[in-house]
Amino acid sequence: MTQGERVQQKPVIDRLVVVGLGLIGGSFAKGLRGLGLCNEVVGYDPNPESRRLAVELGVVDRCAETLEEACRGANVIQLAAPILAMERLLEQLSQLELGDAVLTDVGSAKGNLVRCATRVFGAMPARFVPGHPIAGSERSGVTAADGTLFQRHKVILTPVAGTDTQALALVNRLWTALGADVEHMDVAHHDEVLAATSHLPHLLAFGLVDSLAKRHENLEIFRYAAGGFRDFTRIAGSDPVMWHDIFLANREAVLATLDDFRSDLDALRTAVDEGDGHTLLGVFTRARAAREHFSKILARRAYVDVMHSNDLIFLANPGGSLTGQLRVPGDKSISHRSIMLGSLAEGTTEVEGFLEGEDALATIQAFRDMGVVIEGPNQGRVTVHGVGLHGLQAPPGPIYLGNSGTSMRLLAGLLAAQPFDSTLSGDASLTKRPMNRVANPLREMGAVIETAAEGRPPMTIRGGQKLTGMHYDMPMASAQVKSCLLLAGLYAEGKTSVTEPAPTRDHTERMLQGFGYPVQVQGSTAAVESGHKLSAAHIEVPADISSAAFFMVAASIAEGSDVTLEHVGINPTRTGVIDILRLMGADIELFNQREVGGEPVADIRVRAAQLKGIEIPEALVPLAIDEFPVLFIAAACAEGRTVLRGAEELRVKESDRIQVMADGLQTLGVKAEPTPDGIVIEGGPMGGGEVWAHGDHRIAMSFSVAALRATAPIRIHDCANVATSFPNFLALAERAGMRVAVEEAS
Ligand code: S3P
């Protein structure tokens, strides 16, 4: 159903009464009437003209002349009167016989309403469900009523302890039918949230515009007003009477948020007064980043994605071949570490080639939350004003890490040793991933960490613990676990050493050394001792071999292809994908090999070749751990059987990559049998079909590559997370010759 399209539904209530026929009340009445959810919609408004118009415009079926007449026989009464008129209205209602009618309202402050209703009725009526739709329009009055006003807007219901659950469910149902995204919140929390996000900004806008206008009597300020001031005047153009009501009604919460803001404003004043540019830069970069971060990551995840059931669909059309020179974005692992170590260093670290994907941005945001001033990213350039090993500050709230397991696991090690408490949370996929693999060894070192059931996020890490170094034999080959413990080891008493069962990426060890921190590496053991410091460095992030891998496989399987991938990181702990593809017969040539900032890089030329199935050597598994989804596509296009063993770790990545890939491949007609620790794939022809990425970026991109050899289009669901590691994937894929695009909503 497209927006605005209305489908008649079966009535769920007999009579709806809407008291107050302004924009909000009128829109509620009109929307539900249009849907046919009530047998009758009755309106009441003290203004006879509004009543007349409401009937004429089809907002209601009929209007009553008095409140009493309106409410007779009502099943639901929606109170959409101005906030300060509510007390009087509730008094009148308390005198009426309302039967078992459900009462609800739309006011933007809830504490005041609940207190009022409690006083007037003697107790908060069980069938009164306070509500607040966060929607509006520049227009007002019944003539502006719009049945689609609440579509894709939040409506917050604030039930109290005794609220009748059936009444709550009914009100919820009505709003949901109008297309709203309904949430439940407690009254005080609602008022605090709204005071901060809506009321305070309005107070500031009214106050600032008035203050400036008063001072500049010739109104010069308006004549020369640039964008900033103009934006404030837009908000100050809101309805003065309504806002006067809101501030009087939500007094306590507004005062609390205003006091916090005043102290922050004083701090800014002091910074200006003292010429403290560092503080100013910190505030401004954090504010700018907050806008981007919240609009891009949180808003999409918390709002738009919910409304769209999280489904960004890629439509990958069959055929095509790849040519040209391509540079894929910066390495994700190195980008994360550049922010972490840059923040802990003394001095200013400059980073180039930084991956501007959501995962790495989440790490930047985490350190900004902990008081580090970070400029950028701007075309891959980031400037990190390091605070030293002991300079992090307590974050103001939980640190949200989106989809990024690397951020969460590495940060856990670092935070275990800080003097403050912290909580790490993430999106639905990250919330399913195992964290005991880091929490348990950290606890052995003296950390105090709580997790949700079965060691899942969120993780709460208690500050002020003394850590003691230890030796740890890692049960699984994980660079994240190794890095986590080494970072904790920077603070632990004595020596911390980690032995890995198989080689894993060593970016942490290399970068620590690049920052002048001594690391001892002997065979499969890496160790650090506390007591040293990190000194700022210049970091050039190579292109990510894990992103390049999609094009390596794509060029290998698509006839006539010849691509060169530039400046790709070829750290030997990451090149398993090249070794495996070469064993399968791929034509891959490395040239222009050089070392950049402690990491080897090369240009990689890949030409199409007939691949053959192989038994993948187990020793290569950790060295290609992120590349298996696309290697499975290579296997599906190869001649013969490919067998993977010893890769159970794939089951706990952003998705269960063994199962999800097997399901998708089977849908495309490929014989793919999952095993507990791997998969067996028979190469052969591949058809099209619908596959699901399960929010896993690498699955989405792998099936995009598969289309090169499919005989029909592949529709890939749930692709939004491609932005976590490869934000310009579609553009680059198109430039190279692939035929993948976002499917337009129908
Ligand atoms: C990473 C390590 C690997 C890898 C992940 C990034 C890192 O995870 O899969 O994408 O940056 O340290 P594990 O340590 O869980 O194998």
482 labeled part of a ligand binding site: no
Compute and round to an integer the Cα radius of gyration of the chain: 30
539 lines ligand 1 (CB under 6 A): no
Residue nearest to atom 10 of ligand 1 (CA): 626
657 labeled part of a ligand binding site: yes
Residue nearest to atom 16 of ligand 1 (CA): 478
pLDDT level of residue 630 (50, 70, 90 thresholds): very high
The per-residue pLDDT for 236 is: 87
486 lines ligand 1 (CB under 6 A): no
627 lines ligand 1 (CB under 6 A): no
368 labeled part of a ligand binding site: no
CATH topology assigned to domain 333-540: UDP-n-acetylglucosamine1-carboxyvinyl-transferase; Chain (3.65.10)
Atom of ligand 1 at shortest distance to CA of 410?
A: 12
Residue 462, CA distances (Å) to 139, 159, 369, 439, 483 in order: 50, 33, 17, 12, 20
Average of per-residue pLDDT across 576-604: 96
Q: Give CA angle at 205 (201, 210), nearest 5°.
A: 155
The alpha carbon of 455 and the centre of ligand 1 are apart by a number of angstroms equal to 18
Average of per-residue pLDDT across 410-426: 97
The answer to whether the beta carbons of residues 449 and 462 sit under 8 Å apart is yes
50 lines ligand 1 (CB under 6 A): no
Q: How far apart are CA 239 and CA 138, in angstroms?
A: 9
332 labeled part of a ligand binding site: yes
641 labeled part of a ligand binding site: no
The answer to whether the beta carbons of residues 209 and 232 sit under 8 Å apart is yes
pLDDT at 297 over 60: no
DSSP 142: G
238 labeled part of a ligand binding site: no
CATH class assigned to 314-326+544-742: alpha beta
pLDDT at 553 over 50: yes
407 lines ligand 1 (CB under 6 A): no
The alpha carbon of 589 and the centre of ligand 1 are apart by a number of angstroms equal to 26
- 332, 333, 487, 545: residue to mutate for ligand 1 pocket, most atoms within 8 A of CB: 333
Domain formed by 3-185, architecture: 3-Layer(aba) Sandwich (3.40)
Atom of ligand 1 at shortest distance to CA of 336?
A: 11
694 lines ligand 1 (CB under 6 A): no
404 lines ligand 1 (CB under 6 A): no
500 lines ligand 1 (CB under 6 A): no
- 336, 625, 650, 696: residue to mutate for ligand 1 pocket, most atoms within 8 A of CB: 625
- 341, 438, 478, 649: residue to mutate for ligand 1 pocket, most atoms within 8 A of CB: 478
Per DSSP, the residues of 460-518 read: EEESSPPPB--EEE-SS--HHHHHHHHHHHTTSBSEEEEE-SS----HHHHHHHHTT--
pLDDT level of residue 341 (50, 70, 90 thresholds): very high
Task: Report CA torsion sign: 327, 328, 329, 334.
Answer: negative
Paired sense of beta strands 456-462 and 422-425, if any: antiparallel
Domain residue extents for the chain: 3-185, 192-275, 277-303, 314-326+544-742, 333-540
Average of per-residue pLDDT across 43-59: 96
The verdict on pTM exceeding 0.75 is yes
The answer to whether the beta carbons of residues 632 and 702 sit under 8 Å apart is yes
pLDDT at 548 over 90: yes
The alpha carbon of 379 and the centre of ligand 1 are apart by a number of angstroms equal to 25
The alpha carbon of 581 and the centre of ligand 1 are apart by a number of angstroms equal to 21
pLDDT in tens, 422-465: 999 999 899 999 999 999 999 999 999 999 999 999 999 999 99
**Phi and psi of 196, rounded to 5°?**
-75, -45
The per-residue pLDDT for 471 is: 98
Residue 626 is among the residues annotated as catalytic for this protein: yes
Q: How far apart are CA 192 and CA 261, in angstroms?
A: 13
483 lines ligand 1 (CB under 6 A): yes
626 lines ligand 1 (CB under 6 A): yes
Q: List CB contacts of 682: < 8 A, sequence separation 6 or more.
A: 613, 640, 641, 670, 671, 672
Tokens of 348: 């200013």
The per-residue pLDDT for 597 is: 82
The per-residue pLDDT for 214 is: 74
Q: How high does pLDDT run on average in the chain?
A: 93
**139-148, 337-346, 551-560 — which is least confidently predicted?**
139-148
The per-residue pLDDT for 6 is: 53
The per-residue pLDDT for 304 is: 40
The alpha carbon of 653 and the centre of ligand 1 are apart by a number of angstroms equal to 9
Atom of ligand 1 at shortest distance to CA of 480?
A: 14
CATH number for the domain whose boundaries are 192-275: 1.10.3660.10
HSE at residue 146, side-chain half, CA atoms within 13 A, is: 15
Atom of ligand 1 at shortest distance to CA of 476?
A: 16
**279-293, 469-483, 616-630 — which is least confidently predicted?**
279-293
**Phi and psi of 467, rounded to 5°?**
-95, 145
pLDDT at 227 over 80: no
pLDDT at 306 over 90: no
The per-residue pLDDT for 467 is: 98
480 lines ligand 1 (CB under 6 A): yes
The alpha carbon of 664 and the centre of ligand 1 are apart by a number of angstroms equal to 23
Look at 169 and 140; give whichever has higher pLDDT: 169
498 lines ligand 1 (CB under 6 A): no
Do the domains spanning 192-275 and 314-326+544-742 agree at the CATH topology level?
no
The alpha carbon of 591 and the centre of ligand 1 are apart by a number of angstroms equal to 27
Share of the chain above pLDDT 70, in %: 94
pLDDT level of residue 147 (50, 70, 90 thresholds): very high
The per-residue pLDDT for 271 is: 96
Catalytic residue, chosen from 181, 544, 626, 696, is 626
The alpha carbon of 477 and the centre of ligand 1 are apart by a number of angstroms equal to 9
pLDDT at 409 over 80: yes
pLDDT in tens, 87-105: 999 999 999 999 999 999 9
